[in-house]
Structure formats: C-alpha cells, structure tokens
Amino acid sequence: MVEHLELPRPLRLIRCTGLSLSESLGLPLAAYFLGAWLGGRNAGLIAGVLAIWLTAVIRKMACGSVPSLLTISAIVLTLQTVVVVATGVFWIFLLQFPLGYAAMFILFARTARGPNPIVAKLAAEVVALRHPAYHPALQRFFQGATWLWAGIFLVLTAGLGVMMVTEPASTFLMLSTVATVAGTVAGIGASVLWFWSVLRKHGLRVQFSPA
C-alpha cells in the first residue's frame, strides 16, 4: 500500500479550522469586547480568560481531551491577564508581550525532542491532517518544525524585550505587531516548504479523505 497523508475535503477542512480558531481566539475575543463594554479593560480581560477556560473544561468533559491550540491560548491569555490586572504600571502592561512569547517558546521547546511534538498535534487538530504513524521522516520534520517555531518565539521574546526598553510605547506597539506578523508569515512559509520537500523526498503524497 502506498503511504500517504490525508486532509479533509475543502468544506470540512474549513469547518475544522474555523472551529479550532473560533474556540481558541474568537470566543475569548468576543468575551473580552463584551466585558470591556460592560466594565472596562480589566473586566474584559477576565471575561476572556473565563470564556477560554470554560471552553477547555467543556472540551475535556465532552471529548476527554483539550486541543493544543486551545491550551496554548488559555495559558498565554491567563499569563497576560495576570500581568495586566495585577499592575497599573504601563511598562509592566507592555511586558505581557515578551512574556507571552516566552511562554510559547517553553511550550514548544519542551515537546520538540519527544515522541509527540506540538506541531504534529496542531496539524492534526487544526487542519485534521492524518499521516502514517511513526514515519521516521515525518517524525523528524515535526520535531524540527517544533524547534523552528520555538526559535521564532525565542527571537520574538528577545526582540520585544529589547524594544520595550529602547523605544517609546507607541513605537513598541507598532514594531511588535510588525515583528509578530513577519515572524508568523516566515514560520508558516518555511514550515510549508520544508513539509513539501520531505513529502517529495520520501515519495509521500497528500490526498483528500473519503467523504
């Protein structure tokens, strides 16, 4: 049998990805805006944290596990909210950005050498990618890609930490946005090109799963 990877058909792929992003980003963001409208910034942040942890609890009770992207979002949002709510100092408010990326670095780096690198879990959960179990080349790719993203988050942590003490707040917020977008686009592009090179080298192919 020819080994291959499977993706859901386009409509199902969109639903799967949309659900994952909605519960990890959309729901807490909606809760934040509602809470901020009713009670101010801190109320919005707390509402976002409560919404994402409630989603995680429901996922655990209904499915027996919590998706990795939801876990990452919950940890980072909680860390940022604690920093913001516990202090009224603006520079400490800015500290949430490098702290968030530091948490992401730790989360990715701690799984990169193990049998279940987090990039593989995210690929399975966010886009429902199915692949041959324990394929050595794919395992090395997922481990390497996890290290790649850990490195991106480490660079963002260091870069934003330096900018926070060298740039005015308005400039820092602008540069942090640019750095985040650039790092994310570069990481996705590098990961996709690396992934396709691994598939071609080892004769693997991607096909849609049966309806």
Distance CA 117, CA 109 (A): 9
- Locate 85 and state its tokens: 């709510």
Neighbours of 123 (CB within 10 A): 22
Taking the domains of the chain in order of start, what are their residue ranges?
A: 4-208
> Position of tokens 């009770």?
61
pLDDT (tens digit per residue) in 44-68:
888 989 999 998 898 888 777 788 7
pLDDT (tens digit per residue) in 70-119:
888 888 888 878 877 777 666 666 777 888 888 889 989 998 888 889 89
Question: How much is the pTM?
Answer: 0.75
Distance CA 188, CA 129 (A): 16
Q: Which residues contact 125 (CB under 8 A, 6 or more apart)?
A: 20, 67, 68, 69
Residues comprising the chain, all counted: 211
